[in-house]
Amino acid sequence: MLHLLKLEWLKLKDYFMFRAIMLLYFILLPTTVLIFRIPGDPPEELAIPSFYIFPHIWESLGYAGNWLTFFLFGFLAILMVSNEFSFKTFRQNIMTGVSRRDFITSKILMFLVLSAVAAIYYFVIALAFGYYNTDYVKDISYAFENAEMVFRFFLMVFAYMSFAFMIVILVRRSGFALLIYTIYTIIIELILRYFVHYKLFGMNKAFWYYPLNSIEDLVYPSFFNAGNVAKDIELALLSPTEAIVLTLVYTTIFLLVPYTVIQKRDL
Amino acid sequence: MKVLETNRLSKSYGKIKAVTGLDLTVEPGQVYGILGPNGSGKTTTLGMIMGIIHQDDGGFSWFEEGSGSRLRKRIGTLLETPNFYPYLSAVKNLKIVAHIKKDRTSDIGELLQLVNLYDRKDSAFKTYSLGMKQRLAIAAALIGDPDVLIFDEPTNGLDPEGIKEVRELLLKIAQRGKTIIMASHILDEVEKVCTHVAIIKKGKLLATGSVGAIINAKPTVEIAAKDLKSLEAAVTAHAEVDSVTVDNGKIILTLSENYSTGDLNKWAYDNGYLLTHLVERQKSLEEEFLEITRSENN
């Protein structure tokens, strides 16, 4: 397993886009959350400084990270695979002596590691923001009240990367894959939910069970829910447990599809 | 031990039969050329035995042990184009190959010296010329000291100097006792480098054997004299002469087994013919190849 991870690391460590994306994440995660400071942007009833204190910081930083990792880590997953197609290094790796299963496994292992790095960084930054902004913590367990979000954050990043992985294995081209990945998430799934599902079945529970909605709801500020749930039922969120179970199911599918496709395909 | 054995290996793409029932046997130490025109199924064949293309039918076995990634680690392959990570240097690319092959003994610097790339070892692959890329691919194929090397059109797209360099490199490798399997559509290349040859066309095996056996061992002899008509009549009647054709003022003939060109010269002199032209020619692989592929068409 370490052998496969090292193989992936040798390919990645000098790759410009890998370095750029990681750097961007490290810079943007702490800065994006600061946009909440722009006066008038968030609803008035939400006290602005509360975004940065324990335990709310876990949610607000998590929400910023949700968007950020969708783009940065999803795109990175696509590039990590599309490169292997366009450089023809996938077929060369196989000829040199990597099995198809090992090739897939090495990618998945790297996705796990990168997701863990993203989650650990999220943990560190949340802790730093919270520590800096919270004047008084009555006991330490209060500061860590939402800290289980670190695990959900990790799962979210891994799920985004797995979804991107499935798409790029199916279409092979980076541009096409980036387009489908983005368009599906921000347009197609919403059309499916609001126009197709809603028209056909109304607003039953399954309305929230779509794959990207499930992943998104892993890390979502509960104050969004609290503020809107009375007005717009369709903006309601899945419970963390629902989101975790659904994401695990979808991620399994996202990984099984490429595995099967790669076994059968001529390279 | 056989290095490679294929058994009725077949692959079609839709209606097109790329490879049909191919049986090949490669023994250790052979430089085995797979010769055929473009589109004859050479690359498809190599793709199947290297695990990147699934065969529809038949099978193959490496080192009499079967197939799989473990056995592929013992084979160095350059198929079609040199494939590397363009943003990595030669050294880093070769390190990846060594890592895959779990090889800790190969001296990457020494290999780069062998293929004459040592001075550029730290430049990114994308800055290399085509010839340099091809040579790097040969170095990559040599990592882990594999028993077998596979080259597909190794001189394709190279300038004359590059072609010469690559051929010399191949001969150097062959001298180390490696088994080489090489696909080519260039007869001259196969003739210069290979010990054995399989001729394929439209995915079918037409002929196989040592290069010497495939090239008809019997030489042809060209003769001419002042009185061509009379000479022609005489050689046609000569018992030791097998076939006679007249072409452009010359008589082209083949001789029977134990009758040499010198014997023919003496016979002509003794019979009063003073030859003005006498040339012995080995039939080239090219002629043989055209003959074999042509007869398949008829």
CB burial class (10 A; 0-12, 13-18, 19+) of residue B123?
A: middle
Q: Is some CB atom of chain A closer than 8 A to the CB atom of B52?
A: yes
In chain B, the percentage of residues whose pLDDT exceeds 70 is 95
Query: Which chain B residue has its CA at the smallest distance from A106's CA?
Result: B100
Cβ within 8 Å, pair A87-B50: no
pLDDT of residue A163: 98
Q: Nearest-CA distance from B183 to chain A in Å?
A: 16
| Nearest CB to A266 within list B52, B85, B102 | B52
Edge to edge, what strands does the sheet with B57-62 contain?
B16-26, B4-13, B57-62
Q: Nearest-CA distance from A239 to chain B in Å?
A: 44
Average pLDDT over residues B44-68: 94
97-156 of B, contacting A, C-beta below 8 A: 97, 99-102, 140
Size of chain A in residues? 267
Q: Using H for helix, E for strand and C for coil, what is the string for B221-276? A: EEEEECCHHHHHHHHHHCCCEEEEEEECCEEEEEECCCCCHHHHHHHHHHCCCCEE
Which single residue is written with the structure tokens 């979808």?
A250
pLDDT of residue B298: 47
What are the tokens at A103? 């090739």
Task: Report the alpha-carbon distance of residue A168 to residue A162 in Å, rounded.
Answer: 10
Average pLDDT over residues B178-201: 87
What are the tokens at B261? 């060109």
Q: How does the average pLDDT of chain B come out, rounded?
A: 88
Q: Is some CB atom of chain B closer than 8 A to the CB atom of A83?
A: yes
Task: Report the alpha-carbon distance of residue A180 to residue A184 in Å, rounded.
Answer: 6
Q: Is some CB atom of chain B closer than 8 A to the CB atom of A98?
A: yes
Residue B93 pLDDT exceeds 90: yes
Contact B227, B255 (CB under 8 A): no
Query: Which chain A residue has its CA at the smallest distance from B141's CA?
Result: A96
pLDDT of residue A227: 47
Q: Is some CB atom of chain B closer than 8 A to the CB atom of A102?
A: yes
Task: Report the alpha-carbon distance of residue B267 to residue A33 in Å, rounded.
Answer: 103
Q: List Cβ neighbours of A160 (8 Å cut-off, separation of 6 or more).
A: A69, A70, A73, A74, A77, A215
Output A260 or B245, whichever has higher pLDDT.
A260
Tell me the chain B residues in contact with residue A93 when contact means C-beta distances shorter than 8 Å. Answer: 100
Cβ within 8 Å, pair A95-B97: no
Low-confidence ranges of chain A (pLDDT < 50): 47, 227-230
Average pLDDT over residues B31-40: 88
For the CA atoms of B131, B137, B138, B144, the dihedral, rounded to the nearest 10 degrees, stands at: 160
Mind listing the pLDDT tens digit for each residue in B252-272?
888 887 888 888 899 999 988
Q: Nearest-CA distance from B171 to chain A in Å?
A: 22
Q: Is some CB atom of chain A closer than 8 A to the CB atom of B88?
A: yes
CA B61 → CA B2, B7, B141, distances in Å? Answer: 9, 8, 20
Cβ within 8 Å, pair A95-B77: yes
Mind listing the pLDDT tens digit for each residue in B111-138?
999 888 999 999 999 999 988 998 899 9
Mind listing the pLDDT tens digit for each residue in B226-238?
888 888 888 888 8
Size of chain B in residues? 298
Mind listing the pLDDT tens digit for each residue in B170-188?
888 888 888 999 998 887 7
- B150, B194, B153, B149: which is closest to B171 by C-alpha? B194
Q: Is some CB atom of chain B closer than 8 A to the CB atom of A97?
A: yes
Which single residue is written with the structure tokens 């996202």?
A254
Cβ within 8 Å, pair A10-B92: yes
Quote the distance between the C-alpha of residue A185 and its chain's center: 12
Which single residue is written with the structure tokens 């190279």?
B158
CB burial class (10 A; 0-12, 13-18, 19+) of residue B16?
A: exposed
